[in-house]
Structure 1
Amino acid sequence: MRLSGFNLNQLIGLEALLAEGNVTRAAKRAHLSQSAMSAVLSQLRLHFDDALLVRSGRGMVLTPFARSLIAPMNELLSQAQSFAALRPYADSETIDREVTIVASEFVLQTCVGPGIIASTREVPGLRFDLLPLSEDSGKLLRNGEVDLLLAGQSLDVGMPPKAELFSEGFVCLSCAERGPPQGQLTRQAFLERRHVVVKYIQHQMTHDDEEVLRREGLIRKRQITVWSYSLVPYVLCGTEMIATLPERAAHQISRRWPVQIHPFPFGHDPVRVFAYWHASRDTDAVIERFLARLS
């Protein structure tokens, strides 16, 4: 490879000549034959338009120009050695990287937030760009425009998931004062109550709890539809309505609001949350290590 007419393959030969000031010793240092090192010296003289080494008695000495090359040569080789030693995530202090994540609001609240806090404490140079799910999310992922997409199994991404983050069941949430007494949310009571329903991608996502009802030929009474789990307590508290949420989201709300949690009165498979990424990130140690921080 040539850079500004300089053959980069000759760097090792130049370093040996500058360090040893002798063709024979330089050849031994660079693991070359003496004739090969003599050829390197001839090419270097031609490139720099300087003799570099001149005979003095029975030995050779560096020209003033050759001596001026020693400091930049050593600095260049030091940088090259540091460059060659780089590995993904090898040195947390030197990483300067932005990670773009598309995620459902539920996943952001329940596991991504804590994962980001842990990652930025360990790697201060990490930055995160968090984007909401949209109808274009799958396309962005397939084009490699985002690093990660984190969402439940209901989202049609258009490609198989790379990893499962976690799985859990549904529960029901009600106002602590006006909801059904604990242990009395039967199937019949569920169907008689009006509901707050979360649907955050219009026309694209059907939630798993609704699929459970549809398989049994049932329809709940939808009173209010919101786009975020965090909005549920604002419209639920003070009413007789109920909402169906994944366990983690419900327990987060219960720590801050006067609500009670009831078992979901229908049998169902676990809600599974997956991680997706483009094939170009398959060996990305930054992404791998970040995912290990999610729980």
Structure 2
Amino acid sequence: MRFKKLDLNLLVALDTLLTEQSITKGAKKLNMSPSALSNSLSRLRDYFEDDLLTQIGRKMVITPYGENLKIHVRNALNNIESTILVQPSFDPQKTDRIFSLFCSDYTQTVLIPHMLELVGKGKASSRFQFLAQVDNPDESLERGEADLLIIPSNFVSKEHPSDILYEEKFVCVVWEHSDIAKSELTTEKYSAAGHVHMRPAVIKKDFFESTLAETYGIKRRLVATTFSFTAVPAMVIGSENIATIHTRLAKKMAKVWPLKILPLPFDIPPMKQCIQWHQYRNNDQGLIWLRETLKKAAENMDN
């Protein structure tokens, strides 16, 4: 099919090429030969009168014009998917749909089990895949890689709709046999202790470090950092170190590990955990069902 002399099938190829920046990777993703995708790129270059991607050394780099097209092509495909390809009705007990959710291992530990419990009780046939954390998670929505983001409010994009799921406070966990567990945790003791901290490589600005430094003048001495929220509590065992983590996660981990939960010696605003979806998918009945299920799961977390 052509629209103003453009073969619309080429839009999918263009979107993939601009995302992967590789003919080999793009061809594998589209299940086609590299030569066929290279031919599609040639036709796209002729139509737009621009190289779109140029070879520099071993890498393909997007041209300024290609960069300008990237978001518009992705939005066009998202719009087609949300308005034409997605079925207007959604039956959770008859669907074969796979939902992709971007969320941390903390969320998968404290919230997702309650969601899956509701899904099971409702005999829903949908399936779920959870995506690893990345920088700028809203780009996962733009590229169509994620159906839904479950993220703190400070990572929410202003370009897409979102809802607050719940609020989460923070506490400290220490080894229950440590000296620091035997008395009240003061700001001085907190500052002097070693700390175990979750800090994914993709996050450029750390919430805790910036908040503590700017508000309380505290710069923590980090003895260990990790990419996993759920690994943090176990890493204080056998030491005098402290981990500052989500309250619900602390309560779960204290049932498994020899940990003592201590209140923070200062106030930190609670985290607002949000769900976010693409602006073109407001009327996606499957996502509406999933969002409602997540809200019910959040209500059940403390029961």
TM range (shorter): 0.5 to 0.7
The Cα shift of 1:157 comes to 4.2
Aligned twin of 2:122: 122
Name the structure 1 match of 2:273. Answer: 273
Provide the C-alpha distance between the structure 2 equivalents of 1:88 and 1:213, rounded to a whole number of angstroms: 50
**8 A Cα contact 1:179 1:239, kept in partner:** no
User: 1:131 deviation in Å?
Assistant: 0.4
After the TM superposition, which residues 257-268 of structure 1 pair with which residues of structure 2 at under 5 Å, given as runs?
257-268=257-268
Structure 1 residues 115, 201: closer, same or farther in 2, change over 3 A?
farther
Identity of aligned residues (%): 23
Partner in structure 2 of residue 177 of structure 1 = 177
Max Rg structure: 1
Q: Aligned partners of 2:212 and 2:285: how far apart in 1?
A: 38
Change (3 A) 1:179 1:199: farther
Deviations 1:136-172 (CA, angstroms, capped at 9, x unpaired): 5321112333110111134364645510011121100
Q: In structure 2, how many angstroms separate the alpha carbons of the residues matched to 1:163 and 1:251? A: 25
The 1-side partners of 2:124 and 2:169 are apart by 35
Amino acid at match of 1:244: T
Stretches of structure 1 that go unaligned for 5 or more consecutive residues are 1-85
Residue identity in the other structure for 2:89: P
User: Is 1:166–2:166 an aligned residue pair?
Assistant: yes
Distance 2:158 2:205 in 1: 13
Equivalence for 1:286? 286
Q: Normalization by structure 2: what TM-score?
A: 0.63
Structure 2 gap ranges (5+): 1-86, 299-303
1:179/1:287 Cα in 2 relative to 1: closer, same or farther (>3 Å)?
Answer: farther
User: 2:238, 2:270 → 1: CA distance?
Assistant: 30
Deviation string, structure 1 residues 102-143 (Cα, Å, up to 9, x no partner): 112211211023202321442442011110111253211123
Matched with 1:75 is none
The 8 Å contact of residues 164 and 272 in structure 2, kept in 1 or not, is answered as yes
Deviates more, 1:154-163 or 1:212-221: 154-163
Q: How does 1:48-59 map to 2 (within 5 A)?
A: none
| Alignment match, 1:37 | none
Q: Secondary structure at the match of 1:94?
A: coil
Taking the aligned partners of 2:164 and 2:223, their CA distance within structure 1 comes to: 33
Task: Determine helix, strand or coil for the equivalent of 2:111.
Answer: helix
In structure 1, how many angstroms separate the alpha carbons of the residues matched to 2:139 and 2:88? 30
CA distances 1:229-265 after superposition (whole Å, capped 9, x unpaired):
2111332101000010011111111111110001111
| Code of the aligned partner of 2:285 | A
**Runs of 4 or more consecutive aligned structure 1 residues displaced over 4 Å after TM superposition:** none
Opposite residue 125 of structure 1, the aligned amino acid is S
Displacement of 1:96 after TM fit? 1.8
Q: Which residue is equivalent to 1:190?
A: 190
- Change in 2 beyond 3 A, CA 1:254/1:213: farther
Counterpart in the other structure of 1:110: 110
Match of 2:174, SS?
strand
User: Which residue of 1 is the match for residue 247 of structure 2?
Assistant: 247
Aligned length: 209
CA deviation vs aligned residue, 1:188-235 (integer Å, no higher than 9, x gap)? 110111000111243424124651343222201111001112111332
Residue 215 (str. 1) matches residue 215 (str. 2): yes
